Amino acid sequence: MAKWLLLDGSNLVYRSFYAIPELTRADGFPTNALHGWIRTLWRLEDMEKPEGMAVFFDAKGKTEREKIYPEYKANRDETPESLSKQFPWTKKIVEACGMPMREQEGLEADDLIATAALSLLEQGHTVKIVSADKDLGQLIRPGIMQLLPPPTANPRIGWRELDEAGIFAKYGLQPNQIRDYLALVGDTSDNVPGVQGVGPKTATRWLQEWKSVEGVIEHAAELKPARFQEKLPAALEQLRLSYELVGLDCNAAMEPLEMKPCDANELIRMLEELEMRTAVNDAEKRYRVGYLF
């Protein structure tokens, strides 16, 4: 049995970009996200000591969710140009570190993570999903937990583990109800509509009593506040759309994950090219003075 970390690369690179002030190479090429990214990889290796780490990115192009709901994530700002320039380098760093990396047109990183997590669990491994994305909470079960990065607004809180008990403490629900919960309340970060007026407390109360979205629909005539007895049936199409949007594709076609030895020479060469001198020194100590992953 091996311990695997599955990293939501897009989520973590964005966090690195906004957490670190502007840094550039001598010619002006931005490197702030790259500084944060390599530190994140090393921090996770040292903190968790996994046998395997894999990284997943959102691919370019329209996703299946956007095809059924063009407004999906339409509220998000364009990726800053300085971050777009750094993304190819984040992937090169992953490859040099020997970590498998996956991205697939039409699917989001969440879908690939879901597929990999359940596959690894079936093989007898344990999994920690490294992401702040609340959609991934629906995957939590014995053998799979979520590792939340430090909040950008308050990094002193540090990394936090989220298991089944943590989900219940946070939402008052079981992990297999998170999809139903998000379908009801919506998700402003992804522009998922939910049911207008349904907040976290109302959704939790309904799901504690009727277990699922379909159970809530069946008991629409009993809903409280009473205004939802008419409002919910009128919003069924939107509710079912939201349920579809927040679900995860757990059956993506994917090659098995396999770690490779870190190519220390290539990694250090890239860090030197990027003029990330502190990272070069740390990589020299880490990989050329007896450090083994």
21 and 87 share one domain = yes
146 and 182 share one domain = no
Residue with tokens 């079912």: 240
263 and 220 share one domain = no
151 and 199 share one domain = no
Taking CA atoms, 243 is separated from 5, 46, 99, 185, 269, in Å, by: 27, 38, 33, 10, 46
Tell me what the mean pLDDT of segment 17-35 comes to: 95
209 and 258 share one domain = no
Q: Is the pLDDT of residue 293 over 50?
A: no
Q: Quickly state the pLDDT bin for 61 (edges 50, 70, 90).
A: confident
Q: Which domain holds residue 30?
A: 3-172+249-288
In a domain, 74, yes or no: yes
How confident is the model at residue 76, as a pLDDT? 85
Taking CA atoms, 286 is separated from 32, 53, 180, in Å, by: 21, 17, 45
Residue with tokens 């994917």: 254
Write out the two tokens for 237. Answer: 């199409």
Tell me what the mean pLDDT of segment 177-195 comes to: 96
Q: Of the candidates 166, 50, 170, 160, which has an alpha carbon nearest to the alpha carbon of residue 100?
A: 50
Q: Which CATH number belongs to the domain containing residue 255 in this structure?
A: 3.40.50.1010
In a domain, 293, yes or no: no
How confident is the model at residue 153, as a pLDDT? 82
Task: Compute, in degrees rounded to 10, the torsion defined by CA atoms 126, 285, 282, 51.
Answer: -10
pLDDT digits (tens, 9 = 90+) for 91-150: 999 999 999 999 999 899 999 999 999 999 999 999 999 999 999 999 999 999 999 999
168 and 179 share one domain = no
Give phi and psi for 24, each to the nearest 5: -140, 160
Amino acid sitting at position 269: R
User: What is the value of pTM for the model shown?
Assistant: 0.95
How confident is the model at residue 289, as a pLDDT? 60
How confident is the model at residue 127, as a pLDDT? 98
